[in-house]
Structure 1
Amino acid sequence: MKYQPFLLRCLLLALLIGFLASCNQSKKQKFSVEDVPDPKKSGGGYVSNPDHLISDATVTELNEKLSTLDNAGKAQVAVVILRSIGDNETRDFAHKLFNYWKIGDKEKNNGLLILMVEDARKLEFETGYGLEADMPDIICFRIQQEYMIPRIKEHNYDAAFTDGVKSVASLFDNGNYAYDMLPDLPGADASLMATDSETVATDEIPPPVTAGDAIDVAPQSFASTEEATSSASNDYTGDFSFMAIIFWLFISAAMMHVFFGKKAKRRKENADEEPLAVTAVPNEFLRPRWIGLIIIHAIAFYTIFYLITKRHMDVGFLKVCLIYYLVWLVFMHVAVLLIMLRTAVMLKNDDRHLKWLRLEVLRRDLRIAGYIFPLPYLWLYIMWLKNRLNHLRNDVYDCPQCAQAMHKLDEAEDDTYLEKGQVVEEKLDSVDYDVWRCDTCNTQTVLNYTNMRSALADCPSCKHKTYKCKKTVTKQRATTSSEGWGIKEYVCAFCAYAHDYQFVIPKISESSSSSSSGSSSSSSSSSSWGGGSSGGGGASSSW
């Protein structure tokens, strides 16, 4: 009887294993080509990697290379990497998937499907009718065996598909799939050529090469081949990610705006303009703007140009991002040095309170940069700036009347010495007030410390930072032929003063509308394959 619980547990475990196995088996039996995610319908790529057997960086790199091959009209290649296809036969599955997606141009039939199924340990190439001459079955098999299967056996799927796609691209670009062995062709030897009017004398014919002579000649032959291969590698010019450049053009402009603010607009006197919110107040110590962007892009472009032309490197998306990050890192450290020099000069004659107000704007903008570039110098400067602001605000003041030390009242006590509008400002978190009182002569000093991240503005009526936009109404929408306009309704939370400010909506440019329609048509054309069909050619390899 004492074994009964143990036997019951074993029985339940066996039933559970059987249930899971049956579920897995039923799942395998139902797997079909419709279950394979089509990359064209999820971003317009060429790689389907639903089980994440290769890294995202490799997927990006493969998409770039295959896009170049497709845009050149040479071949449209689909790469599919699956953990399992159930109990389907891999060769038949590849043929069905090829025709289901219709890979390749409809007229050229230049499609190629590269399919790997991990649990079946199979690698399949399926070619379209138009590729059977340029890429016969034997070439498909050699690419698999020489460049992909050895890496797959090492479970290095990233290298396997990177090398395999490079080999396919080299076949269509250079006529040779062995991309890593492409020496320059040696020039024709003039001594071996003769015209129709010339005859070669018998005594000029070189004697037969003996075995001993062959041993002496062989090293020279290998040396010349090695020199030719080295020359070919030196002539290679790397490629770079154009999309990464575009990405960093936008990111750099955004970071320049966030870190240093924009130039303050000159406001006309007596003009009915929208009030300036506290968050829009720019720092006054350094605003590189377009000059800074030009410097950053120039250094990054030069570095990329050097790597692809002098170092013969491919600079993909991640490398471009790394280059830009390092350039920005150096730029921010140089900017901080300039800011330190300028603040020392510009704040020389200011009192403690004014220094705090001007430096707090700087800390507001650089605080985010400290998180993005958390390396010692910038981070230490931000920590020093925070400590400096703390001393400027909290160090004891001397009484202006009797020169005795004053003490700061707490938040509960200082409201007694504040005006009603100032109390409202504190409740709205637009301004925090410190009240210092002298115990000797009962003198009070009230100092305002503005919250530089507040969206409130100064009220034109009561002058308190309690003025806020309550509603934005579009009265007339902009078109390609005319501007639009609307109003922003501002209300003061203290004195209830209200006013409407009119704003202009710029015209919609025809170029932007046409480009948006063009981009949509481009994305729609790339959201499907070309309409090709399989010729049944290709190769299979196992590991």
Structure 2
Amino acid sequence: MPLRYFLLCLLFLLIVLGAPGLEATAQSSLDRLPGPFELEGHYVTDPNKFLKPATIRYLEANLYALDMHHKAHIQVVMVRSIGKATPHKAAAKLFDRWKIEKTYRHNGLLVLVVQDQGWVEFYIGSGLQQTLTLADCQRVGRRYMLLALHRKKYDKAIRSGVDSLIHNVAPDFRLFNPDAGEVTEAFPPDVATLARIQEQDSLAAAELAFANRPGPDNWSEGEGFLVFFSLMFMFVTTGVLLTIKHVPVLLKVLLGLVSLWVFVQVFLAGGTDSKFPASAPLSWTYGWSIAAVSLHLLIIRYRYHQEYAGASRIERYTYLIKSHRRLGFLRFMMPVPLVLYWVGHRRQLRTLRNEPYQCPECNGSMYRLAKNVEHNVLEPSQKVEETIKALDYDAWECYDCQHHLVLGYLYPKTKAKECPNCSHTTLLRKSRQVVERGNSRRRTWGWFVWECAFCQHIELVRFEEIGTQTSSHHHHHHHHHDHC
């Protein structure tokens, strides 16, 4: 259990601390982008190689010609991520750091394309705002770029958008294809034409909204970590239930099959062509974990009412403790759906253990002695059992006749066994003694030494090792008696 808590805490820390680290990495990579004159070309910055070389040559040739005619300086930047920074702030930072406003006669335009956000941001210099407004740029982005970006057609998105921007700034400019050696015949519509087809923007926006459904490619880093965490939580929950002995075999088979099916569905939902939002795999994994645990708890309650209806309070208490062992972490992982169950479970345990008993001698009422007083009532062997955390004793005393009732509750995690000599739960394993080490033809064998903490009885249990497996059986006993 401590190891499981450690792994869960470690995974939580990775989620909490990993996202800021990724954000800082993305932001620092943006800060390290070289300026326009530090690159082989001056107008296109594509550090992640999204664009084809032919597209870059086309853009460089036309943007250079546009700049030389003093029409506008358009700087195109496409990056994979800017972390959690907003595109507007990132574009403004690049615009100022590269001094586009001062260097290019105040007619600069920065086009920032952020791949993981599927967004295009325009930052316009003051000298160009009379010719090209932000609303014009946004219509160009919405009409020609965003839908193609979400379809991963990056060359088409950038080329169509830049063509339209050039034609809006300089309607008479003839686009040139350096690879074909010809002037492009077809031009995207200019601003005036765009104004006449605004009614088509609603249709384009609807199509963009459909393409922008939150699939795996659009999951944020935090959503991706949550999906991974919920998947790991499902496997931990399933693994714990599969290793509990009293879980019915049929339920274990059902747990394994459904968990495998959910994993396959999450894997398919993570495909590049999938359009599932992050909430879908989260609901599958976390929902199935809740359903599996709830089914297990229902079986526990059914057995409690059927098999332990006439049992004593201590037997019912012991059953509930053992049946809920290793499920304590669910109090923290499933606090909302199971909060009422855990509150009722704890209340029932307190009632079974703390409700006053009726005196077997005079039928009077008994009260529970405090821990510092009950030691006066316990037998020496019982004190030893409490010391080694084998049994936890409660001592009750009658108000009328002072009769004492002592009840022992077994610690769920105790490794102590019943001593064959004194019959107390005080036998502990002390050491492991190798008698003969094996080789390729013989096995390693020796003794597990068990010693009673009360009567000092020694019990030897023979073990044999085959590779990394150990088998043990009571082959030889040696007794040392120190009478109780």
TM-score by length of 1: 0.48
1:152 paired residue among 84, 87, 93: 87
Cα gap change, 1:340/1:313 in structure 2, threshold over 3 Å: closer, same or farther? same
> Partners in 2 of 1:295 and 1:478 — Cα distance?
45
Contact 2:26 2:81 in 1 (8 A): no
* Paired position in structure 2 for 1:351: 312
For the pair 1:262 / 2:196, whether they are aligned, the reply is no
Cα gap change, 1:478/1:58 in structure 2, threshold over 3 Å: closer, same or farther? farther
Cα gap change, 1:138/1:53 in structure 2, threshold over 3 Å: closer, same or farther? farther
For 1:108-507, list aligned pairs within 5 A: 124-126=45-47, 132-133=53-54, 136=57, 138=59, 142=76, 144=78, 151-155=86-90, 160=114, 162-163=116-117, 174=153, 176=155, 178=157, 233=211, 251-258=233-240, 261-263=243-245, 288-299=251-262, 301-302=264-265, 305=268, 312-313=275-276, 315=278, 320=281, 323-375=284-336, 377-438=337-398, 440-471=400-431, 488-496=448-456, 497-502=458-463, 504=465
> Partners in 1 of 2:427 and 2:44 — Cα distance?
68
For 1:28-67, list aligned pairs within 5 A: 55=20
Cα gap change, 1:302/1:257 in structure 2, threshold over 3 Å: closer, same or farther? closer
Question: What percentage of residue pairs aligned between the two structures are identical?
Answer: 18
> Partners in 2 of 1:478 and 1:79 — Cα distance?
56
1:125 deviates by: 3.2
Give the match's secondary structure for 2:116: helix
> Partners in 2 of 1:254 and 1:364 — Cα distance?
15
CA RMSD of aligned residues (A): 5.8
Contact 2:118 2:149 in 1 (8 A): no
Give the match's secondary structure for 1:365: coil
Spell out, residue by residue over 1:312-358, the C-alpha distance to the aligned partner (whole angstroms, 9 max, x if none): 2365xx97456422331343234333433332222211111111111
Give the match's secondary structure for 1:162: coil
Contact 1:300 1:327 in 2 (8 A): no
Gaps of 5+ in 2: 1-16, 61-73, 94-111, 121-144, 162-192, 470-484
1:382 deviates by: 1.5
* Paired position in structure 2 for 1:111: none
1:385 deviates by: 1.4
Contact 2:396 2:404 in 1 (8 A): yes
Cα gap change, 1:465/1:58 in structure 2, threshold over 3 Å: closer, same or farther? farther
Residue identity opposite 1:367 in structure 2: G
Spell out, residue by residue over 1:392-419, the C-alpha distance to the aligned partner (whole angstroms, 9 max, x if none): 1121111223322233333344334433
> Partners in 2 of 1:258 and 1:395 — Cα distance?
32
Cα gap change, 1:258/1:307 in structure 2, threshold over 3 Å: closer, same or farther? closer
Residue identity opposite 2:87 in structure 1: I
Which has the larger displacement, 393-402 or 226-235? 226-235
1:57 deviates by: 7.1
TM-score by length of 2: 0.53
Spell out, residue by residue over 1:133-178, the C-alpha distance to the aligned partner (whole angstroms, 9 max, x if none): 46548389645399989953245999935147999x9799757453
1:260 deviates by: 6.9
Contact 1:260 1:287 in 2 (8 A): no
Spell out, residue by residue over 1:365-397, the C-alpha distance to the aligned partner (whole angstroms, 9 max, x if none): 33221111101x412212211111111112111
* Paired position in structure 1 for 2:28: 81
Cα gap change, 1:290/1:151 in structure 2, threshold over 3 Å: closer, same or farther? same
> Partners in 1 of 2:442 and 2:379 — Cα distance?
48
Give the match's secondary structure for 2:46: strand
* Paired position in structure 2 for 1:192: none
Give the match's secondary structure for 1:470: strand
1:247 deviates by: 7.4
* Paired position in structure 2 for 1:21: none
1:223 deviates by: 10
> Partners in 2 of 1:359 and 1:152 — Cα distance?
56
Contact 1:407 1:436 in 2 (8 A): yes
* Paired position in structure 2 for 1:46: none
> Partners in 1 of 2:204 and 2:34 — Cα distance?
44
Cα gap change, 1:242/1:384 in structure 2, threshold over 3 Å: closer, same or farther? closer
> Partners in 1 of 2:359 and 2:296 — Cα distance?
38
* Paired position in structure 2 for 1:12: none
> Partners in 1 of 2:438 and 2:230 — Cα distance?
32
Cα gap change, 1:507/1:328 in structure 2, threshold over 3 Å: closer, same or farther? same
Cα gap change, 1:336/1:409 in structure 2, threshold over 3 Å: closer, same or farther? same
* Paired position in structure 2 for 1:270: none
Contact 1:363 1:382 in 2 (8 A): no
* Paired position in structure 2 for 1:66: none
1:448 deviates by: 0.6
Residue identity opposite 1:254 in structure 2: V
Cα gap change, 1:323/1:418 in structure 2, threshold over 3 Å: closer, same or farther? same
Contact 1:459 1:466 in 2 (8 A): yes
Gaps of 5+ in 1: 1-51, 60-77, 96-121, 183-214, 264-282, 509-543
Spell out, residue by residue over 1:180-226, the C-alpha distance to the aligned partner (whole angstroms, 9 max, x if none): x99xxxxxxxxxxxxxxxxxxxxxxxxxxxxxxxx9xx98x959985
> Partners in 2 of 1:145 and 1:247 — Cα distance?
28
Residue identity opposite 1:463 in structure 2: S
> Partners in 2 of 1:450 and 1:146 — Cα distance?
59
Give the match's secondary structure for 1:466: strand
